[in-house]
């Protein structure tokens, strides 16, 4: 179990690493990755049962990054944990790299290729159903964007998850209220989101997606109700952690300049805890 201070320090380190990686590659989804860093950090360092030296361990919890464009936080966590070499982060988006701009399962620790929005939940439903059929205890976590809720296939999967009573399935929505071109509600209205998921037969929890205490408690206390899948609406800030990137749709896939990177380093460095390996 990781304490809250450890998670905060680790998340700051991941944010710093992903910004450096994007700066080097001259491409990436800056705002989207900073948005979900706290959720992924809590999942990977505190909640999920995994074996770094045995990525395909049969009993492992599964994770699907359905908002696959935000792959940078994911790669930086996998590298920090040891699934891949930290040096490999320098190859992000270069010719013939494994670390392309969206998750792919050639990378150890990644279950499934994603990037076209709206597919992750269907994949997760299949995995959770397979666990039930095989009498396995592992859980399946899937992270979606709030803009992604506009994809029709999300709702087919929502029906199936409830229909099959998949209480080993935990969806998380990174609810930063922005998508690629602007406010989610302006591009395609998705409210009332809580009511929609409840009416589709899911247990719905709403939390602060940057509060490690809330994330830890909520992500580890699933299933909330036997026979029902859980959907966690995590309220977040797109670009979280860097003042001039926060809450700006333009930073969805903007790359920081050298001086912007320096400013981000100044803001994030003090947050990296001394007990980083503890």
Ligand X SMILES: Cc1ncc(C[n+]2csc(CCOP(=O)(O)OP(=O)(O)O)c2C)c(N)n1
| CA gap 52, 63 in Å, rounded | 14
Q: Cis before residue 116, ω within 30 degrees of 0? A: no
What is residue 169's three-state secondary structure? strand
Residue nearest to ligand X (CB): 145
Residue nearer to ligand X on the CB measure, 9 or 209: 209
For the CB of residue 101, give the shortest distance to ligand X in the complex, in Å: 11
Is 15 a binder of ligand X (CB under 6 A)? Answer: no
Is 66 a binder of ligand X (CB under 6 A)? Answer: no
The residues near 78 (Cβ < 8 Å, ≥ 6 apart) are: 84, 107, 108, 109, 110
Which residue in the set 2, 4, 27, 180 belongs to the binding site for ligand X (CB under 6 A)? 180
Is 210 a binder of ligand X (CB under 6 A)? Answer: no
Residue nearer to ligand X on the CB measure, 60 or 252: 252
For the CB of residue 92, give the shortest distance to ligand X in the complex, in Å: 18
Count the neighbouring beta carbons within 10 Å of the beta carbon of residue 34.
30
CB-based burial label for 253 (10 Å; 0-12, 13-18, 19+) = middle
* Count of residues near ligand X by CB under 6 A: 21
Is 147 a binder of ligand X (CB under 6 A)? Answer: yes
Is 222 a binder of ligand X (CB under 6 A)? Answer: no
In degrees, rounded to 5, the angle at the alpha carbon of residue 56 between the alpha carbons of residues 127 and 232 is 45
Positions touching ligand X (CB under 6 A) are 32, 35, 67, 69-70, 115-118, 145-148, 174, 176, 178-180, 184, 238, 252
């Amino acid at each position: 179990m990781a304490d809250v201070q450890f998670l905060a320090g680790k998340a700051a380190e991941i944010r710093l690493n992903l910004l450096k990686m994007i700066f080097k590659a001259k491409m990436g989804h800056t705002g989207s990755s900073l948005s979900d860093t706290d959720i992924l950090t809590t999942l990977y360092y505190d909640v999920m049962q995994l074996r770094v030296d045995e990525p395909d361990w049969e009993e492992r919890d599964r994770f699907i990054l359905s908002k696959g464009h935000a792959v940078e936080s994911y790669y930086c966590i996998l590298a920090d944990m040891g699934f891949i070499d930290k040096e490999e982060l320098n190859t992000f988006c270069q010719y013939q790299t494994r670390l392309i701009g969206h998750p792919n399962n050639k990378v150890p620790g990644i279950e499934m290729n994603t990037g076209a929005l709206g597919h992750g939940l269907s994949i997760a439903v299949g995995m959770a159903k397979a666990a039930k059929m095989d009498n396995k205890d592992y859980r399946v976590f899937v992270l979606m964007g709030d803009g992604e809720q506009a994809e029709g296939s999300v709702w087919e999967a929502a029906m199936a998850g409830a229909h099959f009573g998949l209480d080993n399935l935990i969806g998380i929505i990174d609810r930063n209220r922005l998508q690629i071109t602007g406010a989610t509600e302006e591009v395609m209205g998705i409210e009332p989101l809580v009511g929609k998921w409840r009416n589709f037969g899911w247990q719905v929890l709403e939390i602060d997606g940057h509060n490690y205490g809330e994330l830890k408690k909520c992500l580890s206390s699933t299933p909330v109700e036997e026979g029902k899948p859980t959907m966690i609406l995590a309220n977040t800030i797109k670009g979280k952690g860097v003042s001039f990137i926060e809450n700006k749709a333009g930073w969805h896939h903007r790359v920081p300049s050298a001086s912007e990177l320096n400013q981000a380093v100044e803001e994030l460095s003090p947050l990296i805890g001394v007990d980083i390996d503890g």
